[in-house]
Amino acid sequence: MALFFQQTLTGVSVGLVYATVAMGLMLLLRAAGVMNFAQGNLLAMGAYLSFLFMEKLQLSSGLLMVILALAVFVAVGCVFCSVCFLPFKHAKWPQAMMICTIGAGTVIQECCLLFITAETRSVRPILAGSLSVGGFVIPYQYFFIFGAMLFMMTGLFFLFEKMYCGRVMSAAAQNKYAADLLGIPTNLTTMVTFCIVVCMVGFSGWLLAPVYRVSASLSNFQARAFASVVIGGFGSLKGAIIGGILVGLIEAYSTYFTTTYKDVVVFGCLLLVLAFCPQGIIPSGTKKEKA
Amino acid sequence: MKKRFLAVSVSLMLALGLTGCGQGAKDSGQGGNDSTQATTDQAQTEAAGSQEQTEKAELNGAPLKIVYCGTSLSQENGDRAKQVLEIAAKECNAAGGVNGGEVVIELIDGGNDQQAYIDAVLKALEVEGVSAVIGTFYSQYALACADYVNEAQIPVFNVATNFEMANASDYYFTNRCVDTAFSNTMAQIAIDNGVKNPVTLFYNTSNGYNDSAFMKAYMEDKGFSVAEEIAFDNTTTTDYTSIVMQAMNVADSDGILLHATANTDGQSIIALLHQYGYAHPIISNSNLFSDSFVKNVGVDACAGMIGFAEYTTTQENEANKAFQELMFNNSSFSYDTVSWIDASFYDDFSLIVEAARLAGGNDKDSILDGLTKIKGYDGIMTSYSYHEDHSYADYIYLAVVQEDGTIEVSDAVEVTH
């Protein structure tokens, strides 16, 4: 029973990580209409930056590191948008944009390996050690990760549900022509969205680095994030969060049966959801709203 | 005007080309005349002798061309291989080269997947005048290329240690010892430390499965057992918590026999076992016994880990010291630690050079001939001799990570081939 509870805790923890990556995916999809296949690489980039600033450059000021990281993330967001979105804005084949994000992801990964480190490295956590209660162990770093996730989830909820600029971003994504006619600066809106997503995912990678190490394998989270998006409900932010936690739990419980083919179980569940409940657990409200 | 200039240029180039061909034909004709002049038996013998001498002289001046086509050059291991091989070649050439020829290193990016590696091997085998190839860490990649290597008949040193490689190709070699020897040593270390029913935890390649099967067979042969065999996919797993939880909670198990790489899988598993307070012995393969691994994972997490090492960084050994000095004093070496990977590539290089010296030639056939003659050659990792299973290591070392993070290396275990 203790193992079951520990696996549940593990599943929820890693599920929240999937949820963050999935939320970033949803944000770009809702606000820019882009399915971003570089999301995992952006997550890994955040981890690599933490290693660069903390271990390689030995920067001691936390504030300085955050400012520098923010500057890098914004710059990457602008370049990413300029390369993967703007040239394809009027393309007849929207999949070109998606393919371009795959290329961009590879470039980001190779740059990290080339300029920062090709080794699997570790970085210091914000607070070392673990909380151990009755056989359950949670590293303190997880509390920062949970905190950041909650902050991002709340922020995104307010952005899209309560704030005007969120609606503007959604409008720009849903119908660019109409948004242009209404005087919405769609290019600027999209670029801001890209920057927000890169910051969000980048800082998540930064926080995850002490737990999962600094390595390109962090980008593997992306595949599970896609599964989270589909299981939770394509287009729904709440669905992405619930889907993320579900995928984390499925993965953790699957180790009772197989440790090697965890992905088969996760993606098998994904296929089942697609077969029996193609809208996902929480269907997007976009369709209803449009109707 | 432009057209006229182009026409004149093309005509000139054609004329020069034809002149060159004509000169070549004239030379070969002269050669033919010379040979026909030797009419008597004595003259024929003399001519044959002189030809042999000329060939040997040509061979002696020929470069020793080593092509590296293993892990992608943008990955750590590939980058280390590149740096070490270039430093080794520079050092060797500064000392006069081999058999009167210089050592040439050519690098081909072996990518990160099997097909990329196959492509790289095909390119490597077609490099003009290639003497030997240094290949991959992954035995399944090596096995996939065996037919091409057999066809080309060029010696290939792999870092991989799967015992099936030598069966697949007569041209495959490894400076390390094959995985059967590794597994038996690990199982014996477990027994020596009172472990009677361990869990084997390994990555799901043929190498990992072989290792686990050999360890299980060895334990059972000695009257013990293996509680459970747990495989993991180290290419797609990032979070190892649930796997570690599963391994820690196997009923009646009293230790873990870990077969992992020094990358995310090994680092995460060791860190998690420490984090969750695993109390039984952890016996690991040699990948994890390096200073860089301990530095990355943390001294607390690694302390007490037992197993065997192939490269003894902390051992008081003149060869190791000299090797580390060579690396750190060279501006081309960009890492702050020297690992067994560096030593392994350096030893691959040295064994190829030694084979060329023993055979007296730098071509692939001489290398093949020389490789079978190597006996008791002192490398950085250990001493090397040719063994029937195409492996070279004579010894591996028992190792324990101390409380201060240093790796104490004690007895050298002679490898049973």
Q: Are residues B172 and B210 in the same domain?
A: no
Q: Which two tokens stand for residue A181?
A: 């006619």
Q: Are residues B279 and B211 in the same domain?
A: yes
Residue B248 φ/ψ region, left for φ over 0, alpha for ψ in the -120 to 50 degree band, beta for the rest: alpha
Residue A233 contacts residue A280 (beta carbons within 8 Å): yes
Residue B47 belongs to some domain of the structure: no
Residue B278 belongs to some domain of the structure: yes
Residue A140 φ/ψ region, left for φ over 0, alpha for ψ in the -120 to 50 degree band, beta for the rest: alpha
Could you give the 3-state DSSP secondary structure of residue A139?
A: strand
pLDDT of residue B21: 41
CA gap A98, B250 in Å, rounded: 44
The CA angle B249-B250-B256, to the nearest 5 degrees, is: 95
Which helix H or strand E contains B66, and what residues bound it?
strand B64-68
Q: Is residue A126 predicted with pLDDT exceeding 50?
A: yes
Best of A133, A214, A221, A255 to substitute, by most chain B Cβ atoms within 10 angstroms, is A255
φ, ψ of residue B310 in degrees (nearest 5): -100, -25
Q: Are residues B74 and B165 in the same domain?
A: yes
Look over chain B and give the mean of its residue pLDDT values, rounded to a whole number.
84
Domain count, chain B: 2
Note the pLDDT tens digit of each residue in B170-213. Answer: 999 999 988 888 898 899 999 999 999 999 999 988 888 988 99
Residue A250 belongs to some domain of the structure: no
Residue A45 contacts residue A274 (beta carbons within 8 Å): no
| pLDDT-above-90 percentage for chain B | 55
Residue A266 belongs to some domain of the structure: no
Residue B75 belongs to some domain of the structure: yes
Per the listing, tokens 């597994």 go with B183
pLDDT of residue B368: 95
Residue B197 belongs to some domain of the structure: yes
The residue of chain A nearest to residue B246, with distances taken between CA atoms, is A255
Q: Are residues B149 and B238 in the same domain?
A: no
State the virtual CA torsion across B195, B197, B203, B209 in degrees, nearest 10: 120
CA gap A113, A119 in Å, rounded: 8
What number is the average pLDDT over the span A161-182? 80
Which helix H or strand E contains B328, and what residues bound it?
helix B318-328
Quick check: B384 contacting A, CB < 8 Å? no
Q: Are residues B68 and B150 in the same domain?
A: yes
A-chain residues near B297 (CB < 8 A):
122
Q: Are residues B230 and B136 in the same domain?
A: no
User: Smallest Cα–Cα separation from A197: which of A44, A77, A45?
Assistant: A77
End-to-end CA distance of chain A: 48
Residues in Cβ contact with B308 at an 8 Å cutoff, skipping those fewer than 6 apart? B182, B185, B186, B189, B285, B286, B289, B396, B397, B398, B399, B413
Q: How many CB atoms lie within 10 A of CB A149?
A: 19
Q: Is residue B345 predicted with pLDDT exceeding 70?
A: yes
A-chain residues near B235 (CB < 8 A):
217
Q: Are residues B238 and B346 in the same domain?
A: no
A-chain residues near B230 (CB < 8 A):
259
For residues B13 and A289, the model is more confident at B13
Domain coverage including residue B110: 61-176+317-386
Note the pLDDT tens digit of each residue in B371-414. Answer: 999 999 999 989 999 999 999 999 888 889 999 988 888 778 88
Residue B40 belongs to some domain of the structure: no
Q: How many CB atoms lie within 10 A of CB B394?
A: 20
Q: Are residues B323 and B256 in the same domain?
A: no
Kindly list the strands in the beta sheet with B228-232, ordered across the sheet, starting from the edge strand earlier in the chain.
B228-232, B199-203, B256-259, B282-284, B306-309, B395-401, B407-414
Residue B28 belongs to some domain of the structure: no
pLDDT of residue B28: 39
Query: Mind telling me how many Å the CA of B385 is from chain A's nearest CA?
Result: 32
Q: Are residues B112 and B228 in the same domain?
A: no
The rounded Cα A75 to chain-centroid distance in angstroms is 18
Could you give the 3-state DSSP secondary structure of residue A260?
A: coil
Domain count, chain A: 1
CA gap A107, A113 in Å, rounded: 10
Domain coverage including residue A42: 17-219
Q: Are residues B192 and B238 in the same domain?
A: yes
Residue A278 belongs to some domain of the structure: no
Q: Is residue B40 predicted with pLDDT exceeding 70?
A: no
Q: Is residue A243 predicted with pLDDT exceeding 70?
A: yes
Residue B362 belongs to some domain of the structure: yes
Give the β-pairing of A136-139 and A130-133.
antiparallel
Residue A231 belongs to some domain of the structure: no
Note the pLDDT tens digit of each residue in A262-288. Answer: 889 999 999 998 898 888 888 765 544
Q: Are residues B225 and B351 in the same domain?
A: no
Note the pLDDT tens digit of each residue in A7-32. Answer: 888 898 889 889 989 988 888 887 77
User: Smallest Cα–Cα separation from B407: which of B281, B262, B309, B275?
Assistant: B309
A-chain residues near B264 (CB < 8 A):
120, 212-213, 215, 217
Quick check: B243 contacting A, CB < 8 Å? yes
Among candidates A2, A14, A139 on the partner chain, residue whose Cβ is nearest the Cβ of B275 = A139
Residue A201 belongs to some domain of the structure: yes
What CATH number has the domain bearing residue B228?
Answer: 3.40.50.2300
Which helix H or strand E contains B408, and what residues bound it?
strand B407-414
Residue B348 belongs to some domain of the structure: yes
Q: Are residues B379 and B303 in the same domain?
A: no
| Global model pTM greater than 0.80 | no
Quick check: B275 contacting A, CB < 8 Å? yes
Using 50, 70 and 90 to split pLDDT, how confident is the model at B2?
low
Could you give the 3-state DSSP secondary structure of residue B414?
A: strand
